[in-house]
Amino acid sequence: MTYRCALITGASSGIGEAFARALPRSTSLLLTGRDRMRLTHLAGELANADRTVRSIAADLVTAEGRRAVLGFAEGQPIDLLINNAGIGYLGRVADNPPERESEMAQLNMVAPVELTRALLPGMLKRAEGGQRAGVIFVASAAAFLPIPLFATYAASKAFLLHYAEALAEELSDDPIDILALCPGATRTRFFERANVNRANLPQLDDAERVARQGLQALGHRVVHVVGPATYLATAAARFLPRRFVAAAAERAMRRWQ
């Protein structure tokens, strides 16, 4: 599917940047993230004669940042929204800084809901002309199981997964495709910010692979888990007793400390 204009959150690095690079050269880009310098550099690199690339530095953790992005997007012919921005923080909920817990909830859940609700009516109206629209929620394999020491992050991704599945059903008769993209551990800056010891991480996926599979899956399925091993792990978690899954997840997470 070729899209006219895509808004990508968390676009300054990682999976968001990979999405920006993977989209066709004819798709105009609206990029947002917190790193102004990286966004400006990426926008300059990706702009060409066939498309415009604009960027805005904003922190979607805050209501002001979310309003700034919506103002930036106003009047633009967005037909693809990629809700990619997200953060995690390793540790017990009772020990984590309270502001980190709040930031995870605001960025991983509130921001995608607010942006999607604000942009969806315009996307649906533009799609009536025959060109389908699309929304991708970058969730996680963590969405399928309770994860002690990563409790708020995993719960926020479970929210995104359920939200995307329900939204897809609500819009099943409309010209728009919804996808919950669920990668496993991916080679990005996420773990540096999440207080995770990278030396103890399992094999990491490439952000480019995650973005490419997300674009390929959009319009073909509602949920896509990246990689066969990750898919098998998430499938097993759905059938095993929840207490057993949580205990096994905690043992695994202790190796990340």
50 pLDDT tier (thresholds 50, 70, 90): confident
Which residues sit opposite 180 in a β-bridge?
Answer: 137, 223
- Count other Cβ atoms within 10 Å, centred on residue 122: 17
Q: Kindly state the average pLDDT of the residues 88-101.
A: 94
| Count of helices and strands (H, E) across the chain | 10, 7
Q: What angle do CA 23, 29, 157 make, to 5 degrees?
A: 75
Q: How far is CA 98 from the centre of its chain?
A: 23
Distance CA 80, CA 191 (A): 27
Rounded to the nearest integer, the mean pLDDT of the chain is 91
What's residue 202's pLDDT?
66
Q: Which of 152, 69, 148 is nearest to 111 (CA)?
A: 69
Distance CA 11, CA 126 (A): 24
- Per the structure, the count of domains in the chain is 1
In percent, the amount of the chain with pLDDT more than 70 equals 97
pLDDT tens digit sequence for 180-208: 999 988 877 777 777 776 656 667 788 99
Distance CA 105, CA 108 (A): 6
Assign 158 to helix, strand or coil. helix
Which residues sit opposite 80 in a β-bridge?
Answer: 6, 134
11 pLDDT tier (thresholds 50, 70, 90): very high
Residue 16 C-beta-side C-alpha neighbours within 13 Å: 28
Q: Is the pLDDT of residue 234 over 80?
A: no
Structural domain including 125 reads 5-254
**pTM (two decimals):** 0.92
- CATH number assigned to the domain comprising residue 248: 3.40.50.720
Q: Kindly state the average pLDDT of the residues 51-76.
A: 96
What's residue 196's pLDDT?
75
Asked if residues 69 and 58 have their Cβ atoms less than 8 Å apart, the reply is yes
What's residue 115's pLDDT?
98
In percent, the amount of the chain with pLDDT more than 90 equals 74
Q: Is the pLDDT of residue 67 over 80?
A: yes
What's residue 150's pLDDT?
93
Distance CA 212, CA 48 (A): 21
